[in-house]
Amino acid sequence: MYRTDGNPNMYRIAPSILSADFARLGEEVQSVIAAGADMVHFDVMDNHYVPNLTIGPMVCEAIRPLTKAVIDVHLMVKPVDRIIPDFARAGANIISFHPEASDHVDRTIGLIKECGCKAGMVFNPATPLSWLDYTLDKLDLVLIMSVNPGFGGQKFIPAALGKLRAVRERIQKSGREVWLEVDGGVKVDNIAEIAHAGADTFVAGTAIFGTKDYKATITAMRTELSKTRS
Ligand code: DX5
Ligand code: ZN
């Protein structure tokens, strides 16, 4: 369904605004969407669960009127439940969380859905996929971290490829439509290999915002994706 059949439109590119110019955030969001991005990846860090501090629901609310694109909120916060309704009210479409940051994972998934958002679970490089055993039937998205969370600009960890393949297999077995997202170190020169491993949704921060011409970069990513064959 979402995958390696060579059609680049089956894939979603989600620029991480962590690497945008925060002094011109609204403009940056509009620029990447105009440049062909499918959604906005919104990294929330609390200087507790991860060693960095970023943006919260007020910033999400401020950018919401600027785009119709999906806002994909990646919560790197602990505790996690308290902030979920605030992001839903601020206009988030997808809310993903790390299972280690929740005391009651099933309750957290339920809360995200009750708030009217799609629910995603995030796997750090060393987080086992067994967290999917009793949750995959409720999830809309699985996010595989290909770096340790906290910072943009890190190097892609190749072990993420095997993990993507394993999750793609589980999604296929489930028969459900679950997006498989990858986050960290995604570039023009590795995106095809990552897609081949099963990802359909690609977060890219520095690879996009670190370039001058966002459209050229996103187009180059789509060209690479179009080369992918199953
Ligand atoms: C890391 C964040 C990522 C980050 C990716 O904790 O979740 O979304 O912005 O940045 P790049 O694409 O530069 O690795
Ligand atoms: Zn992220």
H/E stretch holding 39: strand 39-45
Q: Which atom, in ligand 1's list, is nearest to the CA of 204?
A: 12
What is the whole-number distance in angstroms between the Cα of residue 67 and the centre of ligand 2?
A: 19
**Helix locations, the chain, DSSP H:** 25-34, 57-63, 84-89, 105-114, 159-174, 191-196, 206-209, 214-226
Whether ligand 1 lies within 6 angstroms of the CB of 194 is answered as no
The Cα angle at residue 71 between residues 38 and 177, in degrees rounded to 5: 70
Which of 38, 72, 183, 200 is catalytic? The answer is 183
DSSP 116-137: T-EEEEEE-TT--GGGGTTTGG
Please name which of 65, 48, 56 lies closest in space to residue 22, comparing C-alpha atoms.
Answer: 56
Q: Which two tokens stand for residue 61?
A: 């609310």
Placement of tokens 């959604």 in the chain: 39
Whether ligand 1 lies within 6 angstroms of the CB of 96 is answered as no
Does residue 108 contact residue 118 with C-beta atoms inside 8 Å? no
Catalytic residue status for 189: no
Which of 43, 46, 72, 200 is catalytic? The answer is 43
pLDDT at 5: 42
pLDDT at 94: 98
Q: Which two tokens stand for residue 153?
A: 């600009």
pLDDT at 228: 86
Least distant ligand from the CA of 17? 1
pTM: 0.96
pLDDT at 9: 55
pLDDT at 205: 98
What is the whole-number distance in angstroms between the Cα of residue 229 and the centre of ligand 2?
A: 27
Q: Are strands 12-15 and 201-204 parallel, antiparallel or unpaired?
A: parallel
What is the whole-number distance in angstroms between the Cα of residue 62 and the centre of ligand 2?
A: 19
Q: What is the mean pLDDT of each run of 10 residues along the chain (230 residues)?
A: 47 98 98 98 98 98 98 98 98 98 98 98 98 98 98 98 98 98 98 98 98 98 87
Please name which of 210, 101, 213, 109 lies closest in space to residue 154, comparing C-alpha atoms.
Answer: 210
Sign of CA dihedral 45, 146, 33, 90: negative
Q: What is the DSSP letter of 182?
A: E
Neighbours of ion ligand 2 (CB under 5 A): 43, 74, 183
Catalytic residue status for 133: no
What is the whole-number distance in angstroms between the Cα of residue 170 and the centre of ligand 2?
A: 22
**Mind listing the domains of the chain with CATH numbers?**
12-229 (3.20.20.70)
* Calpha distance 60→32 (Å, rounded): 16
Q: Which two tokens stand for residue 159?
A: 């072990």
Whether ligand 1 lies within 6 angstroms of the CB of 183 is answered as yes
pLDDT at 144: 99
Does residue 152 contact residue 19 with C-beta atoms inside 8 Å? yes
Sign of CA dihedral 59, 215, 4, 146: negative
